[in-house]
């Protein structure tokens, strides 16, 4: 979603050559950012955009927005909504246009040149944001409108955007003294550089610095045929033909940990995964963390907050760090109990098999799979053939159609940024255009790990006309292997539905002002995505998309029943590792001593304090915790996924209670929530949909934690 340029931006971005200085003479006529895009629906002309186009376009965009802001400040007329708030809201069009391409590509299709230019642009863009955030003249005019807001005849949308802009400026340092503003600017610049460095180090540690090469076929024992085939393909691409290669991509290392009978190799690949950024090499992230944490603390204290977590929580639904920690501990305790019981059960299996060792973290996937078979007679290898990527896509489109009447038409005539990306026009039930959605499914060098939703252009209004969203969802799913298509785990299917939910939020978001359209608190933003995961697991929906890739047979009722019965299995681990990481995040940002001498010692002390058992680790250890250290977005806010899980479980329960998971009345109400969610506080918007306060019970019941 588009937010204020100077408050939120995508870090680690850049698609420009190291030779930028030589190429900045590129004429405006040659630079596609200086032209109107005559592509279908105005999508970026990816085939025309070159690496040397970004720097001059960013610099010109900064120059234009500076001029726009100067015109606002120097306006001789008294500040009004139109000449101050609206004028500022619509400023920076060129810069937003460039960043709309620059940001997404830096995560999905980066390289050494892009990273070099990201480093070049980072201080320029941070300085620009600082200059706006602390522009005394601009803030004075915004404050003048804010102070009179209750005397003016504002509608709800106008009132909201005035209040949010005022809040942004205050939180950005506009009320600070000149001396403190200078400190804040220095902190922001240093943090932006550190975030960039953290992300680059992690990308190298993930995609470049490790691969498990197997040249002995006996070391493939236990691995399914499709996993072996993909490893052989990966070996060929890596110049290791005739061998098998496993990497840090989740579709590679998770199946290896789940099925490999070679315990020593399981340990080797898992150690490589959880030691990323912690290898005392040129990509080590410990010193970066030691700089980030005190800088954030200084920033919060400059703004009058006790700590950085208090600063972040203040504008979220949770409001205080104490409320967040209390909430997390309510979930941690039952999850830990469940995990401890699973440890006992898995250790029994080890002992029965004659294993002379105690369960370790690299054993969890392997023995939990055995435990699942023992408890539920459910084998992932039996399930996976029913979850091909193409069929999962059909299931997603089916749900969107049933709920909202949407149609997704693949368009081969739209430019794509990579040959693997797919482009779809999204149409309403009546055939009218809603937006464009790109989908990019598989791991590759230059793509960061994980899954995310972003946009090349957010939905907005220009001269009263709605401009549709050009969105994108990016994943790292299992690739096709041999004669078989891309076969997904159910976890990957759920991830697909999740990111698609974010995409729907962006497509539907509607509001007259860029600052507030679709804008929600960070601990609300995962509701639109996570609620979609509920439909993925519904038998009615599975019957549509869970088809055997060879026979076309619908998933048998018996197998479906096993899947549903096993729905709460391993939730001690799944919930526990997540909550542990969330509590680690909170500890970093509430510590009374932010000068951290030893990152690993800090992490251990944090985890020991909650009684984390040695059989598993937090979902993200500090040195690869990109959610909180490669940008500001989820810092002191990783908890938001499970906070929103309360909302999504409660919201889906509303559908279930009607007896129709596609209930038209609730679908219409939920679409309204997605469209208008920026017009009021998060909880108010939710209550308007639900008609009551959210309940934790549906989440606890779903996870088996009651």
Give the catalytic positions in this structure: 499
* In the block, residue with structure tokens 């109400």: 669
At 427 the three-state DSSP class reads strand
**What pairing do the DSSP bridges indicate for beta strands 469-474 and 433-440?**
parallel
Region of 319 on the Ramachandran plot (φ > 0 left; ψ -120 to 50 alpha; else beta): left
Nearest to 473 by CA among 424, 535, 517: 424
Radius of gyration from C-alpha coordinates of the chain: 25
What DSSP designation does 155 have?
-
Core vs surface per residue 14-46: b (16+ CB within 10 A) or e: bbbbeebeeeeebeeeebbbbeebebebebbeb
Residues 442 and 477 sit within 8 Å (Cβ to Cβ): yes
In whole angstroms, what is the distance from residue 317 CA to residue 523 CA? 6
Task: Report residue 445: phi and psi, to 5°.
Answer: -60, 140
Residues 570 and 368 sit within 8 Å (Cβ to Cβ): yes
Termini Cα distance of the chain: 35
In whole angstroms, what is the distance from residue 74 CA to residue 84 CA? 11
In whole angstroms, what is the distance from residue 108 CA to residue 112 CA? 13
**How is residue 183 written in tokens?**
């400190």
Residues 189 and 130 sit within 8 Å (Cβ to Cβ): yes
The count of other CB atoms within 10 Å of the CB of residue 136 is 11
Upper half-sphere CA count for residue 231 (Cβ side, 13 Å): 28
In whole angstroms, what is the distance from residue 416 CA to residue 103 CA? 15
- Run of H or E including 548: none
Nearest to 487 by CA among 623, 625, 388: 388
**What pairing do the DSSP bridges indicate for beta strands 212-214 and 422-427?**
unpaired
The count of other CB atoms within 10 Å of the CB of residue 417 is 22
């Amino acid at each position: 979603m588009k937010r204020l340029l100077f408050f939120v931006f995508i870090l680690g971005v850049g698609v420009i050559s190291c030779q930028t200085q030589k190429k900045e003479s590129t004429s405006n006529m040659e630079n596609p950012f200086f032209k109107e895009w005559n592509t279908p629906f105005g999508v970026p002309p990816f085939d025309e955009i070159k690496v040397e186009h970004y720097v001059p376009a960013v610099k010109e965009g900064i120059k234009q927005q500076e001029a726009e802001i100067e015109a606002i400040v120097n306006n001789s007329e008294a500040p009004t909504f139109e000449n101050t708030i609206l004028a500022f809201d619509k400023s920076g069009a060129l810069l937003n246009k460039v960043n709309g391409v620059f940001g997404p590509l830096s995560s999905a299709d980066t390289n050494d040149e892009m990273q070099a230019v990201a480093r070049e642009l980072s201080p320029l863009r941070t300085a620009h944001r600082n200059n706006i955030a602390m522009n005394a003249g601009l803030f004075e005019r915004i404050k003048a409108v804010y102070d009179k807001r209750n005397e003016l005849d504002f509608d709800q949308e106008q009132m909201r955007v005035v209040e949010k802009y005022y809040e942004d400026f205050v939180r950005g340092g506009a009320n600070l003294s000149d001396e403190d503003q200078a400190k804040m600017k220095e902190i922001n610049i240093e943090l932006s550089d550190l975030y960039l460095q953290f992300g680059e180090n992690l990308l190298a540690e993930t995609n470049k610095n490790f691969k498990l090469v197997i040249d002995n076929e006996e070391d493939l024992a236990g691995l399914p045929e499709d996993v072996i085939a993909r490893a052989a393909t990966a070996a060929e691409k890596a110049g290791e033909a005739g061998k098998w290669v496993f990497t840090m991509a989740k579709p590679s290392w998770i199946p290896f940990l789940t099925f490999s009978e070679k315990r020593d190799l399981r340990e080797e690949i898992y150690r490589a995964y959880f030691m990323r950024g912690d290898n005392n090499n040129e990509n080590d992230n410990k010193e970066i963390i030691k700089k980030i944490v005190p800088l954030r603390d200084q920033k919060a204290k400059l703004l009058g907050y006790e700590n950085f977590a208090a600063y972040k929580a203040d504008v979220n639904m949770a409001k205080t760090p104490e409320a967040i920690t209390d909430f997390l501990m309510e979930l941690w305790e039952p999850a830990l109990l469940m995990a401890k019981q699973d440890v006992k059960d898995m250790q029994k299996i080890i002992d029965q098999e004659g294993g002379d060792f105690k369960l370790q973290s690299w054993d969890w996937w392997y023995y939990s799979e055995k435990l699942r078979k023992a408890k539920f007679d459910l084998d992932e290898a039996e399930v996976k053939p029913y979850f091909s990527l193409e069929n999962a896509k059909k299931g997603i489109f089916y749900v969107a159609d049933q709920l909202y009447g949407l149609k997704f038409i693949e368009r081969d005539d739209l430019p794509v940024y990579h040959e693997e990306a797919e482009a779809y026009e999204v149409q309403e039930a009546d055939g009218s255009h809603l937006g464009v959605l790109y989908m990019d499914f598989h791991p590759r060098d230059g793509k960061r790990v994980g899954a995310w939703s972003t946009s090349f252009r957010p939905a907005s209004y220009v001269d009263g006309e709605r401009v549709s969203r050009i969105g994108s969802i990016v994943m790292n799913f299992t690739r096709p292997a041999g004669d078989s298509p891309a076969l997904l785990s159910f976890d990957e299917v759920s991830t697909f539905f999740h990111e698609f939910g974010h995409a729907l939020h962006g497509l539907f978001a509607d509001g007259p002002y860029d600052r507030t359209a679709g804008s929600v608190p960070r601990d609300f933003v995962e509701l639109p995505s996570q609620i979609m995961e509920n439909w993925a697991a519904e038998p009615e929906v599975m019957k549509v998309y869970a088809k055997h890739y060879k026979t076309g047979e619908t998933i048998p009722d018996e197998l479906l029943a096993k899947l549903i019965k096993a729905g709460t299995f391993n939730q001690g681990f799944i919930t526990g590792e997540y909550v542990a990481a969330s509590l680690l995040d909170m500890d970093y940002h509430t510590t009374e001593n932010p000068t951290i001498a030893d990152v690993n010692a800090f992490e251990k002390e944090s985890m020991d304090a909650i009684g984390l058992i040695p059989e598993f680790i937090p979902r993200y250890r500090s040195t690869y915790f990109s959610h909180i250290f490669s940008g500001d977005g989820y810092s002191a806010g990783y908890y938001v996924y499970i906070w929103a899980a309360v909302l999504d479980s409660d919201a889906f329960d509303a559908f279930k209670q009607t007896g129709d998971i596609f209930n038209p009345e609730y679908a219409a109400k939920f679409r309204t929530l997605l469209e208008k969610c920026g017009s009021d506080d998060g909880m108010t918007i939710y209550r308007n949909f639900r008609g009551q306060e959210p309940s934790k019970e549906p989440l606890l019941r779903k996870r088996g934690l009651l």
